[in-house]
Amino acid sequence: MRLRHWRQTRLGLLFVGPWIIGFLVFFLYPFFATFYYSFSRFTGIGNPVFTGLANYSELIHDAVFRTALFNTFYYTIIEVPLSTVAALGLALLLNMKVRGQAIYRTLFYIPSIVPVVASSLIFVWIFQPSFGLVNSLLSDIGVEGPTWFFSITWSKPTFILLGLWGLGQPMVIYLAALQGVPKEMYEVAALEGAGPLQRLRMVTVPMISPVILFNMILSLVLSIQYFTQAQVIESPPGSPGTSTMFYVTYYYQQAFTDLHLGYASAMAFMLFILVLIITVLLLRSSSRWVYYEND
């Protein structure tokens, strides 16, 4: 009995082994090393010099860091709920029985597979202040458009629009989830006299709530690490002013431009704590709105 137990464990570990090695080398070690570096001054050459909590106390007083935190929250708090509602709404539309539905589904999905650098370039061009399509169309109806990516007030909302354009991934996941809801449930609800909105609220949303939770966590974690599009579009990074200085934008500047590796490590660790808190809060709240079917 003991022997069989051990042989099974050995076999399992043998198969999972590649990941365990990868986890230790590319994950656990660097994670703890980041934590260690965060208490030091380090330029990547020589050894880190232990400085205690200096990096953390500097962070608290760093105005740019606060701006980066604010910009990231701004983007996340608007983007996550908006994209969730929009993706779900589109999935509901695409789940209707309409002629040519396959074409609509394809059209809505394709922007999400456009390479991120390409979609960034497309949006810079469309929202180009003087010759871009959007401002040109706006001027046709007598509206003078803002400078979008180059305006301190409009830069973040424009990034949110760029994010919304590529919500095909969650949309398809919601669509698949909608198709998994048993049809009889709608029939019963209809017999009970539930209207379309009631059916949506009482049947559809509860039935796919685990999928909504999964997608919200994913999109939250991604939003908090928002970086690539801003890095491609804004030059210098973070401009105009500091309006697109996102958390990771500032991290990248600290780590790879200024070589403040200790300081950047402290930022990385703070981000970890932040993501952890937000995920735990979301999971906690989930017991109130997520419905798990008992299999």
Partner 1 sequence: MHTAVTSDSRPASAAGSSESPRKRRWTGRKMGASAGKHIVLIALSAMFGLPLLWMVLTSFKSAAQALTLPVVWWPHPILASNYPQLFAALPFFRFFLNTFVYAAVTIVGVCISSSLVAYGFSRLRWPGRDAVFYVMLMTLILPFVCTLIPLFVMYKRFGWIGTYLPLEVPTFFGSSVFSTFLLRQFFMTIPQSLSDAARIDGASEFYIYRRIILPLAKPAMATVILFQFIYCWNDYLGPLIYISNQSSYPLSLGLALIIGDYSTNWAWVMAGATAATAPIVILFFLTQRTFIQGIALTGTKG
Q: Which of residues 224-263 bind partner 1 (CB under 8 A)?
A: 224-225, 227-228, 231-232, 235, 248, 251, 255-256, 261
Q: Which is nearer to partner 1, 126 or 245 (CB)?
A: 126
- Counting beta carbons within 10 angstroms of the beta carbon of residue 16, is it exposed (0 to 12), middle (13 to 18) or buried (19 or more)? exposed
Residues for the chain: how many in total? Answer: 295
| The binder of partner 1 chosen from 102, 142, 284, 293 (CB under 8 A) | 102
d(Cα 198, Cα 243) in Å, to the nearest integer?
Answer: 42
| The binder of partner 1 chosen from 1, 2, 3, 5 (CB under 8 A) | 5
Query: In the numeric block, which tokens belong to residue 228?
Result: 């690539």
Contact map string, positions 46 to 85, toward partner 1, x by CB under 8 A:
----------------------------------------
**DSSP states of 41-82 as a string?**
E--SSSPPEE-TTHHHHHHHT-HHHHHHHHHHHHHHHHHHHH
Q: Which stretch binds partner 1 (CB under 8 A): 2-10, 63-71, 147-155, 237-245?
A: 2-10
Which 132-191 positions form the footprint of partner 1 (CB under 8 A)?
133, 136-137, 140, 165, 169-170, 172-173, 175-181, 183, 186-187, 190
Q: Could you tell me how many residues of this chain bind partner 1 (CB under 8 A)?
A: 112
Q: Is the peptide bond before 81 cis (omega within 30 degrees of 0)?
A: no
Which residues 6+ apart lie within 8 Å of 72 measured at CB?
223, 224, 226, 246, 247
d(Cα 229, Cα 164) in Å, to the nearest integer?
Answer: 13
| The binder of partner 1 chosen from 3, 52, 63, 131 (CB under 8 A) | 131
Let me know: does 39 contact 264? Beta carbons within 8 Å: no
Contact map string, positions 202 to 221, toward partner 1, x by CB under 8 A:
--x-----xx--xx-x---x
In 10 A of CB 121, how many CB atoms? 14
Q: Which is nearer to partner 1, 78 or 181 (CB)?
A: 181
Let me know: does 212 contact 84? Beta carbons within 8 Å: yes
Q: Closest distance between partner 1 and the C-beta of residue 238, in Å?
A: 16
Which 265-294 positions form the footprint of partner 1 (CB under 8 A)?
265, 267-269, 271-272, 275, 279
Q: Which is nearer to partner 1, 78 or 232 (CB)?
A: 232
Tokens 């939003």 label which residue? 223
Q: Closest distance between partner 1 and the C-beta of residue 47, in Å?
A: 11
Judged by DSSP in three states, 21 sits in helix
Task: Kindly report the backbone phi and psi dihedral angles of residue 50, in degrees, each rounded to the nearest multiple of 5, phi listed first.
Answer: -65, 125
Q: Closest distance between partner 1 and the C-beta of residue 65, in Å?
A: 14
The yes or no reply on residue 25 touching partner 1 (CB under 8 A) is: yes
Q: Closest distance between partner 1 and the C-beta of residue 145, in Å?
A: 13
Judged by DSSP in three states, 41 sits in strand
